[in-house]
Structure 1
Amino acid sequence: MRIILIILLFSLIVLFHELGHFIFAKRSGIGVIEFAVGMGPKVFSIERGGTAYSFRLIPIGGFVAMEGEDGAEAEVEENSFGSKTVWQRMQTIAAGPIFNIILTVILLIPVFFYMGSPTNKIDSVMNNMPAYEVGIKAGDVIEKVNGKTVTNGTEVSEAITAAGNKEMSITLDRDGKTVEVKVTPKEQDGRNMVGIQYVMEKSIFGSIKRAFSATYQMTVRMLQFIGQLFTGNLPMKVTEAVSGPVGVISIVNDASQAGAINVVYVMAVISLNLGILNLLPIPALDGFRILMLIIELLRGGKKFNPEKEGMVNFIGFMLLIGFTIFVTYNDVLKLIK
């Protein structure tokens, strides 16, 4: 039952992606033949405004079928995909991945609200860490770091990271009195730390801010990872660094045992992965279609041969299928071990 729930949750991520395509196709006047929830044979279908809204037998993902999307009716029908401007087509294609990024932010908001946002008041100090050694205590309120005013724990952590391993000054409010200490951060697990934990406060505004910040930071790390993947500079083997469907289900399954909020967080990460990867200019992905549209724009609106473009996309799709089989095989090996 847990695996079935995981598959349904993953399907919602895919469905949200397709919803982005659907909304912007409608906005651009592109005819949408069908908006389907699930795959396989139709179970139920109803038509509204020229679009068939259907539920299909296999509850995995969904799809949007647009008029002339494959270029066969590029300029024949007024409401076909190919008859629209480059900008209209580009925003329709880009909407899917962008919706996944938006979904990441939406999913992270309840996660950070549950966790709470770090205030600038110290909850505890870790033994044998720099903060402990210079006399920082629980209950102290951090007002300034290196002379710069801070209002929450996130700003304090950013200031500590920026300081590196150099000595820094921290101004504290201790029972109404101002206390200034000098402390040198210590590197631990790849991060500069002084060994303090903050009092957490549940705040909608703070959760929204942290959701946007976390999405940005994860995006940067993801792009760095993709760069390392293509340059061969990964600090680990490719088989250890990437996972396919089996590996993803295993990760979410492990997270579910730690609580629902962990599942929501992992789903947010998966949604961001789907969004970023789909924006890569790789044949068969949305990013490649966006690249083709940019080149079309630079060529003064001259379209590519749809058959040749379709062939490139088909080859790319087959390569992606092959790569998926490869990582799935490795996922199974990991589970066996």
Structure 2
Amino acid sequence: MKGPAIFLAQFAGDEAPFNSLDAITKWAAGFGYKGVQIPTWDARLIDLAKAADSQDYVDEIKGVCAANGVEVTELSTHLQGQLVASHPAYDRQFDGFAPPQLHGNPTARQAWAVEQLKLAARASRRFGVTSHATFSGALMWHMVYPWPQRPAGLVEEGFAELGRRWKPILDVFDENGVNACYELHPGEDLHDGVTFERFLEAVGGHPRANILYDPSHFVLQQLDYLAFIDIYHARIKAFHVKDAEFRPNGRAGVYGSYSNWVDRPGRFRSLGDGQIDFGAIFSKLTQYGYDGWAVLEWECCLKHPEQGAAEGAPFIARHMIRRAERAFDDFAGTGADKALIDDVLGLGDA
């Protein structure tokens, strides 16, 4: 595993040092981060179309990062991925994820999003990274709680359509040797293990359909985030290190009561302030040979983002595990000896 790294989306802004790639990577490196995950929708940090077509431009970005002591871990298309599949009920809200000239035109907006994902696949290859962070989008989220009863066949057709939209995109990722890693997230059709399996079936088990593991979203859903690793570790190709807590009470539970984040029973927290057992997570990912990056995604309803960033790098570093190269009891080994083995098993005279 590599790290610590930081997702820049929650920090980028119009004021220094958050308004340029050079300044923000210096800022991140100052806390001890070794890598940055770049949101491709933020023109202050990257020109995605240019990165897809120009190795010189990508080398320039890599050079800026290297000079400041970090490297690019992954690119992100969370906002564009959302628009690959979006129910019309959310059109007005999701228009803001696309350029102004596409507002009010869902068909053109979706076509733009698909092209953005394909550009991201090509740009990722130029950066030499093998994983990409994104969302699946959602055609069915408004149906997550079935009242009135869902029409028969709706879920099956929803996943079939999601597969039809994503399969050509995944093929481009495959052509470029990059894994598309879906952050399983409430609000997306892919939000847990079962929905990921249904999607995987819809895309024919596509080798580039993989997972960005973020345990915070599983805490808020009351899903076993450690057992999830045991089940899906082969598909986990990216990792957001984000904390959360779930403290239900007599008035509110999983759904949050339309409350602001600070008043919900389920809340995102800065690293170390929530309930997640990161020692167990890092141990399991190491056990299964995860060799990607550990990337802080800071989201907290209480703590200032810069304090969260400052505390995040040493937190991740403390949890990083250098994989053992030999067994702890090798010192007591007696070597390989066929005669000894047969004797110990009582097979010597057989």
Answer whether TM exceeds 0.5 for this pair. no
Q: Where is the helix percentage greater, Structure 1 or Structure 2?
A: 1
**Normalising by structure 2, what TM-score?**
0.25
